[in-house]
Chains A and B, each alone.
Chain A
Amino acid sequence: MKPVNAVDELIEALRCLPGVGPKSAQRMAFHLLQHDPAGAQRLGAALARALASVRRCARCNTFTEEEVCALCASPKRDPSALCIVETPADLATMEQTMAYRGHYFVLMGRLSPLDGVGPHEIGLDRLLARATDGAVKEVVLATNFTNEGEATAHYIGEMLRDRGLRITRIARGIPVGGELEYVDAGTLAQAFYERRPA
């Protein structure tokens, strides 16, 4: 094995980031060392601190430093609604809508049968306990409209069926302000298949 010097090790370590190949990793490493040692110091400290203090919220499974995250602890949120999303990024996007005022559960993934990701890997047992805590009346399924996200929504719906909960799925279709002429055929076809009485 060749001896690993500190620069090579940094380049190698940066490659764990999504989409960072050897060239970008080298560019990042040289940038940090050459032009921004203070930034590098902050990055190192922030990483170490996050790793030491960040854990999963006991209620919604998202990242937090507390036992329960700020959103779950907030008295302003409606405890009767629980929205299921795949990732913390999806939660943040839902929040931007300002259309939803309830609570969340973050799966940190989706069912993906071809990759061997099943119900245990995405914590459906914890979701079941959370959704049946007595306060939740409606479960909103906001997983992605991919085949994996659809399968995830379906099986969560099946799991929670007959438990006295209202189960809803976010709608899909033509984008807001969309003109049919400019919408792709697949989206328009699915919007037609899922048309509703008007």
Chain B
Amino acid sequence: MSSRQRVDHQPAFVLHAYPYSETSLLVEAYTRAHGRLPLVAKGARRQGSALRGALLAFQPLTFAWSGRGEVRTLVRCDWQGGHPLPRGQALLCGFYLNELLLRLLPREDPHELLFDHYAQAVARLAAGAASAPVLRAFERRLLQELGYAVALERDAASGAAIEPDGTYRYEPERGPIPVLPGAAGGDPLLLKGRVLLALARDDYADAATAAAARDLMRALIDHRLDRQTLHSRTVFRALQDL
């Protein structure tokens, strides 16, 4: 067995980067075949380093790295392009996607389909697409890949098709359970069938349905976050109050 391992040409994104030493960065990389892993980019903080401009989140890259153990060394980073960087509010949405991956996706747990979905979500945000369908679809795909698929078309009690006007309570570990219509009282897990069907179709034309869908997905994500708060959500709310 060789003592050093080298991986080449891995499609990758930077999720976040932190200063590691005066001249290097610690990059939280998200790669297609190796999942999320930390890489040290030596010299990336040096003035004039070619890595410095390339190691930005939201642009498709390929990485090569070597080494074993906890932290490996980035030996090559190639810019792939394909779309401009997201701008404005789309950037905040991108930070949110990155934080979801950083908090929920275990390290070195590759999900190639999720990677492709992430790349597509970033490209859509960069192209100026409406953010709600992009975010809801990514949240659903992430939960599904982590083994918590969100049931949207059949109720979890009888398997009957979801009725648009029916009232359901979404139990995070089971799915939607029909309940008697009553006071909703601001519980994001208590909702009309049409909200589930809108999520299944990615149709957020109706503002009230879109808000209920967002709140349901937020509650389901929170359930998996186990009381961690998402910084990007807090910052987003503070920005909206400006």
Q: Do A and B come from one complex?
A: yes
Interface contact A150-B23, CB-CB below 8 Å? no
List residues 128-171 of chain A with CB under 8 A from any CB of chain B.
128, 146-147, 150-151, 154-155, 158-159
Give CA–CA (A128, B241) in the complex, Å: 13
Interface contact A19-B23, CB-CB below 8 Å? yes
Residue A187 at the B interface, CB < 8 A?
yes
Interface string of B217-242 (1 = CB under 8 A from A): 00000000000000110111011001
Interface contact B242-A151, CB-CB below 8 Å? no
Give CA–CA (A43, B29) in the complex, Å: 40
Residue B19 at the A interface, CB < 8 A?
yes
Residue A189 at the B interface, CB < 8 A?
yes
Interface centre among A19, A128, A151, A185, by most chain B C-beta atoms within 10 angstroms, is A151
Residue A109 at the B interface, CB < 8 A?
no
Give CA–CA (A19, B42) in the complex, Å: 13
Residue B164 at the A interface, CB < 8 A?
no
Residue A91 at the B interface, CB < 8 A?
no
The count of A-to-B residue pairs whose CB atoms sit within 8 angstroms is 84
Known A-B contacts A19-B22, A114-B99, A116-B235; A151 and B91 likewise in contact (beta carbons under 8 Å): yes
Residue B167 at the A interface, CB < 8 A?
no
**In the complex, chain A residues whose CB is within 8 Å of the CB of B84:** 189-190, 193-194
Known A-B contacts A113-B92, A113-B95, A113-B96; A155 and B81 likewise in contact (beta carbons under 8 Å): no
List residues 167-198 of chain A with CB under 8 A from any CB of chain B.
184-187, 189-190, 193-194
Per DSSP, are chain A's interface residues mostly helix, strand or loop, or mixed?
A: helix
Residue A27 at the B interface, CB < 8 A?
no
**In the complex, chain A residues whose CB is within 8 Å of the CB of B23:** 19
Known A-B contacts A111-B235, A114-B102; A159 and B87 likewise in contact (beta carbons under 8 Å): no
Interface contact A154-B22, CB-CB below 8 Å? no
Partner of A146, one of B50, B56, B99: B56
Give CA–CA (A124, B242) in the complex, Å: 8
Chain B interface size range: 35 or more
Residue A120 at the B interface, CB < 8 A?
yes
Residue A118 at the B interface, CB < 8 A?
yes
Give CA–CA (A154, B93) in the complex, Å: 13
Interface string of A9-25 (1 = CB under 8 A from B): 00000000011110000
In angstroms, how far is the closest chain B Cβ from the Cβ of A136? 18
Give CA–CA (A188, B4) in the complex, Å: 35
Known A-B contacts A111-B235, A116-B231, A158-B242; A186 and B57 likewise in contact (beta carbons under 8 Å): no
A binding-site residues for B, Cβ under 8 Å:
18-21, 111, 113-120, 124, 128, 146-147, 150-151, 154-155, 158-159, 184-187, 189-190, 193-194
Subset of 16 A-B contacts with CB under 8 Å = A18-B19, A19-B22, A21-B21, A113-B95, A113-B99, A113-B232, A116-B231, A118-B234, A119-B238, A147-B56, A147-B95, A184-B53, A184-B79, A189-B81, A190-B85, A194-B84
Closest 9 CB pairs of A and B: A19-B22, A116-B231, A113-B232, A118-B235, A113-B95, A193-B84, A113-B235, A118-B238, A186-B79
